[in-house]
Structure formats: C-alpha cells, structure tokens
Amino acid sequence: MTRLVGSLIALTCTVYLLAILLFEGALKFIAVNGVPPYLPGFYNVVVYVPLLAPAAAALGLLATILLWARRNGTLFERAHLAAFTLALIVFTWTSCTLNLIPPLSG
C-alpha cells in the first residue's frame, strides 16, 4: 500500500512538472487569464492534474499517519513517504494559490 500511495504522489507531481517544463506558457497563461472554456489537449494536463492533488494528498497523509502510528516499515520508508506527502501538500497549496484548484465553497 505504501508503495502505491508513494507512486501516486510521485506520478502526480512528475506529470505536472513535465507539463510545466514542456509547455512553458501554459501555467503563466492560465494563472493570468484563468482557465479558458476550450484548451488544446496538452494544456489540459496543466488544468486537470492539480484537481487530483488534494485527493492524493489526503490519501498520502492518511497513509503516512498510519505508518508512523503502527510503526510499519523501516524508518527510511516512513520518512520517504512523509517527504513525498509533504511535497504534494506544498504542490496542492501552490495550485490553490494560483487558482488552479477551484474553491470547494462557493
């Protein structure tokens, strides 16, 4: 389970970072102008991946808390998953700040 959660977290951040690096103007355009109603296919990665981040962050946080509480795995494995989870929480926070994740209320 730990490897699955860690892989999901790493995949979420990696796909997003690759999209940002490959399509330089995508994030700047969306952050400045908002999400237009129609986007070319490759820009959709920049829009939809941040929507998965809160769910993956919640799953990672739950898995990290359970691992530390039950002391499952080695210390390195627990610290590794905790670092991945922290990175995804920062990623989610940044996405919210850039208005790439719509607010839940509203």
Model pLDDT for residues 82-93, shown as the tens digit of each residue = 888 888 888 888
Length of the chain, in residues: 106
Q: What is the pTM of this model?
A: 0.63
Average pLDDT for 76-103: 80
Q: In angstroms, how far is the first alpha carbon of the chain from the final one?
A: 35
Q: What percent of the chain has pLDDT over 90?
A: 4
pLDDT of residue 106: 47
d(CA 32, CA 84): 29
For 15-32, what is each residue's pLDDT tens digit? 776 766 666 676 677 667
Model pLDDT, residue 70: 92
